[in-house]
Amino acid sequence: MTELSKENKDANAAQKLPKHGELPVEKTWDLGLLYATEERWEQDYARIESTISTLAEYQGKLAQSEENILATLRARDEIMLVVLNLYLYASMNLDVDNTVTKYQEMRERATALWGKANSSTAFISPELAAIPEDVAANLFAETSALQKDYGFEIADVLRQSDHMLPAEQEALLLRAAAALAQTGHNVFQKWAFADHGVLGTIPDVNGGTIEVTHGNFSQLAMSQDRNVRESAFKIMFGAFASGNHTLAEAYNGQVKSNVFYAHEHKYNTVFEQYMHQVNIPAGLPNGLVKTAEKNIDTLHRLLLVRKKELQVSDLHWYDLSVPLRNVDFSPSYAESEVTIRKAQAILGNGYLLDVDKAFTSRWIDGLPCQNKRSGGYTSGSYSSPPFMLMNYLPNVEGIYTKAHELGHMVNAMRSRAKQPYHYSGNPINVAEVASTLNEHILSEYLLANTDDPNMRFFILYRQAEGFKNTFFTQLMFHEFELQAHALVESGQAITAFALNGIYLGLLKKYFGAVVTIDDTLKVGWSRIPHFYNAFYVWNYASSWAVSTVLATMLKTEGQAAVDRILAMLEVGSSKYPMDILRDAGVNLSTTKPLQIALDRFAAIVSELERLQATK
């Protein structure tokens, strides 16, 4: 075990984490905005539990009248909104302390209720799709209230009708999904954050110890002391290696579940199902991978810049997070919000009003604490504010993560204000544009406000890291998902050995030309929670490319680009994602925007090489 050097003492002294109840209250979220008391939660639970059965009154009667369809859809929306509130209250309380069994029990009850609600509404889509064309022509007339309120949703139901099962079968599958579909993810969550909240310790210079946790691992990985980075890395990956077979079985169950539901709905693969449901051409992710492969040399040039900067003979994975150049950039929690607000001014005063509301209303649970979920996310419902969870640390990743999640918050605020409940959700490949665009805007602001070559190098490298982490790495993850699902879809077994082999091979493909791929890395797949939400990750890569293009448009087009971006934030799910992005100015029916984004990446790397050469 290495000791923490003096330079890391201050940075890591805070890592003996407080309990959530010991955090400053103004830096925690107020879930009373969802439910003021748990008694109110129980009242809503009881009310919805008894209301769900009333939907059966409309089953078999939708084709009789427009009024029946409207009443059914409106009742469904009211039920699902409250069910989501019930789930979020329990789940978000659990996320700030995974050891509180009360909230685990409440979440399980809410999940079961969600399953009942889904089962009770399962007849709606098959019954709408089965309405005879001559009857549908009258029910769905352009002048009808039904068409006005639910026209896009109904058209989407009809588009997917070939993959729908009879109502009774859909209800059965939904009940099974509610009971089983989250089991793999829940095993992962409990194993990682409850059973292994503290992964190990590193001695500090005073003879004490620093705990290595999911919450502070990223800080330790950024230490300037290579011994500290390596020690934290070995502890983290060693912990996941100890659970390799358990987590492989958890993921195996998830993949088998995914394949079962896809096949039952007459899809050949889970990937085919996902792409058809979101109405995005299946060739888009493949185009992303091909673009990544075409530009892989730029990624390798970036890694060589890092290797030269660190002056190491071999670049290891634990060398990939440490900030380059010794710059004074450690914004406090409050300072990060001031800087982000100044950067976002480019989007106008209305956007800034939303930013101010998000920062001052106790919608953010911002600091690391014991047993808290790692990373960050934005959540909330139609009847609540958007909530942000993060584990803020005073470093470059801390401020960028906050800017990213703020993009989600403002997107949610605006779509909920503009759209009815059933269209208020934001498709991931639009939501991630809103969030990553904030990262680009922050980078441009920081670059515009420094004359220091070291600071410029520092920010440019962070911008380039966005391409490494959000474009190339997410596409590597996508390839992992494709290969893992292909095992089950072809009748082969998913084992820890198989998953480790796939992951190690992909690491070598993307990074092996420059980075030493230690065998320990083979378990890295088991640290990725997004794998429990199949084929989610490629959207990060496409969104990063789109936001790169939009950030360029902000500089070249000014207000016209601002207007299109703000309009994009209000659309919700009232259009298909490809159409929303096309309206915002980026047409993904070709790979041209992808290459424009990668050309920007190459320009950043070229500037980094120039700055390094003149150091």
Taking alpha carbons only, the member of 440, 430, 470 closest to residue 585 is 430
3-state DSSP of 114-157:
HHHHHHHCCCHHHHHHCCCHHHHHHHCCCCCHHHHHHHHHHHHH
Q: Across-strand partners of 211?
A: 201
Cα 339 to Cα 349: distance, rounded to the nearest angstrom: 16
Q: Looking at this protein, which amino acid is placed at residue 219?
A: Q
- Residue 419 Cα distances to 70, 109, 350, 407, 573, angstroms: 17, 29, 18, 18, 9
Q: Which residues contact 198 (CB under 8 A, 6 or more apart)?
A: 211, 212, 213
Q: Which residues contact 454 (CB under 8 A, 6 or more apart)?
A: 325, 326, 327
Q: Crossing angle for the helix pair 428-448 and 396-418, nearest 10 degrees?
A: 130
Which 3 state secondary structure label does DSSP give 518? coil
Cα 533 to Cα 30: distance, rounded to the nearest angstrom: 28
Cα 533 to Cα 259: distance, rounded to the nearest angstrom: 13
Which residue, chain included where needed, has tokens 């994602």? 577
91: left (phi over 0), alpha (psi -120 to 50) or beta: alpha
Which 3 state secondary structure label does DSSP give 239? helix
CB 411 within 8 A of CB 429: no
Cα 610 to Cα 534: distance, rounded to the nearest angstrom: 41
Cα 26 to Cα 458: distance, rounded to the nearest angstrom: 31
Please provide the DSSP assignment of 566-584 as one string.
HHHHH-TTSS-HHHHHHHH
Taking alpha carbons only, the member of 377, 385, 383 closest to residue 81 is 383
Cα 376 to Cα 77: distance, rounded to the nearest angstrom: 28
Cα 577 to Cα 450: distance, rounded to the nearest angstrom: 37
Catalytic residues: 405
- Residue 545 Cα distances to 52, 121, 403, 448, 470, angstroms: 43, 37, 18, 22, 9
Which residue, chain included where needed, has tokens 């290495």? 2
